[in-house]
Amino acid sequence: MRFLPVSLTVLLVELTDLDETLALFASLEAYPVEGIEDMVPAARTLMIRFRPDRVSAERLAANIAERDLSARIAPSDMLVEIPVQYDGEDLADVAELTGLSVDEVIRRHTESTFTVAFSGFAPGFGYLVGGDPALQVPRRQSPRTKIPAGSVALAGAFSGVYPQNSPGGWQIIGTTPVMMWDLTRDPPALFQPGYRVRFFDLARRAVVATPATSAPKTIRSTGETSDAVSITVLAAPMPALFQDLGRFGQTGQGVSSSGALDQGAFKAANRAVGNPVSTPALEITLGGFSFEVSGRAVMALTGAPCPITIRDENGREIVAETYRPISLEAGDVVTLGFAPRGARSYLAFRGGLKVAPVLGSASTDTLAVVGPEPVIAGAQLFLGEAKGLTSVSLDEAPSFECPAPNEIVTLDVIMGPRSDWFTERGIATLTEQLYTVTPQSNRVGIRIEGPEPLERKDKAELPSEGTATGAIQVPHSGQPVLFLADHPLTGGYPVIGTVAEYHLDLAGQIPVNAKIQFRPVTAFAEIQPSKG
């Protein structure tokens, strides 16, 4: 058992195999440790997020080290049968890799009984174990940018079904028409940990099923009364997103926390208008957003400093400030200019916006496609009643200056959990060179490019393991990806280090073409269980 640092509030427990991982997960659920906030089991690791003010990493490691991991988890009585059209584009490659014929690959896959070990990567994506060992094949060296929903695939000792269109590196052997993730179902994920799964060949047995590519349901913002104050969106060059502080307690279904990328600015917007800090607000990327208000309202804009112009019904225009409450009257048109710095602004209204939560949160997760739908031009949003709120705040201010394109942003990094997968040269390269933020960046992660790729010790495959917000994951190309709030829960590439929690808000504001300098604040070392 090894205890590896991930960040200041997350550690990774590395175990011998999946059985030990599931045994530890079950033990901590049955006999919890005060201070643990969340756990993500994976192939042979358990990622644990904890509160350092309640338990230290060393004390947590000591508690875990004493646990009995000999118990084996009994499989569920629930059996799920999945029809498959074995027409995958990698089926012939899998046959060649295994030395089997295509028909033999299909036969061995359909005759296996799998168990859902854990969920991750995407909502509804279950990692299935227990298949025929002869079908164990490596991931593709070059992952695809888009794998269709319903793709049945293999990677290492696992089989799985992609619940939605997404990038991925697994070997595709077929497709299924069955939906893996459906928000109208309770629970939404068809595969739950412990369920048994069998696949059958559609060429031999017909079935009628719901298309796997059906879009997940989203929840619109709605008004409950005709006299409620509303805003009508006039322009949204990039769709605005509802966000709050995040969606927690759904990791068992493969759903990450999401939430506002700059949580300090998000909270400041709500404080400025007198709302509780967790009240849903709009996250606006790069400005250009415009709306008309139907009645009296109070708004505030924080984060990236977009110029704010307000035009009243008589055509008179005034300029307003960010981080201040702004009074609006019926017919006012508010226009946000494009932010010269930063990437994301937060628009809050006194009383909040009426929006139905999805899985307990109003956050829109762009990778998982979970949450309220994006807000585009023509949308009408309704404001809540401003009752029982605190006074507006006149004292809000940004906690840092948002970076501008071409500026250098320094991010503190906790080294680990897989720093030891890289050569000394690779570690030095991470910290010595500047990385440029590319246009492919989004809420899932910041894609960056440096002059020299990060050198690994070898090309070993990493079994899928939990990933944290701020993780610097390094694919085969050697060019890192910095994970943000909508990142997948698990990943199959080594994480060389993780941006410190206190710099995550800053990371969320880094615009395209800015430069990133990584600054390690710890040296990689295993966490040693405390003896006291």
- At 134-154, the pLDDT tens digits run 999 998 877 788 899 999 999
Distance CA 256, CA 240 (A): 20
Give me the residue spans of the domains in the chain.
Answer: 2-65, 79-201, 231-382, 408-520
- pLDDT at site 207: 61
The CATH number for 408-520, chosen from 3.20.20.140, 3.30.70.100, 3.40.50.2300, 2.40.100.10, is 2.40.100.10
- pLDDT at site 498: 98
Short-list 180, 215, 182, 181, CA closest to 197: 180
Tell me the two tokens of residue 494: 């080594």
Strand partners, 383: 353
Torsion of CA 127, 128, 130, 135, to 10 degrees: -90
Short-list 189, 188, 205, 208, CA closest to 197: 189
- pLDDT at site 61: 98
- Per DSSP, the three-state class of 370 is strand
Short-list 469, 528, 524, CA closest to 499: 469
**Domains 79-201 and 408-520 equal at CATH topology level:** yes
> What are the φ and ψ backbone dihedral angles of 40, each rounded to 5 degrees?
-130, 105
Task: Return the DSSP state at 526.
Answer: P
List of the chain residues with pLDDT < 50 = 209-223
∠ CA 313-319-324, nearest 5°, is 110
Distance CA 10, CA 190 (A): 29
- pLDDT at site 264: 98
Residue pair 105/95 in contact by the 8 Å Cβ criterion:
yes
Q: Residue 85 corresponds to which amino acid? A: Q
Residue pair 176/84 in contact by the 8 Å Cβ criterion:
yes
C-beta atoms surrounding 395 within 10 Å: 9
- Per DSSP, the three-state class of 470 is coil
CATH class (in words) of the domain with range 79-201:
mainly beta
Distance CA 21, CA 515 (A): 39
C-beta atoms surrounding 214 within 10 Å: 14
**103 contact partners, CB below 8 Å, separation of at least 6:** none
- pLDDT at site 317: 97
Q: Which CATH architecture has domain 2-65?
A: 2-Layer Sandwich (3.30)
Short-list 143, 86, 145, 198, CA closest to 95: 86
Distance CA 380, CA 295 (A): 13
Give the pLDDT confidence of 91-109 residue by residue, as tens digits.
999 999 999 999 999 999 9
Starting at the edge strand found earlier in the chain, the sheet holding 36-41 runs 2-5, 10-14, 45-50, 36-41
Distance CA 166, CA 120 (A): 13
Q: Which CATH architecture has domain 231-382?
A: Sandwich (2.60)
C-beta atoms surrounding 60 within 10 Å: 25
- Per DSSP, the three-state class of 305 is coil
Query: What is the H or E stretch that residue 268 is in?
Result: helix 263-273
C-beta atoms surrounding 388 within 10 Å: 8
Distance CA 382, CA 295 (A): 11
Distance CA 190, CA 354 (A): 30
Strand partners, 332: none
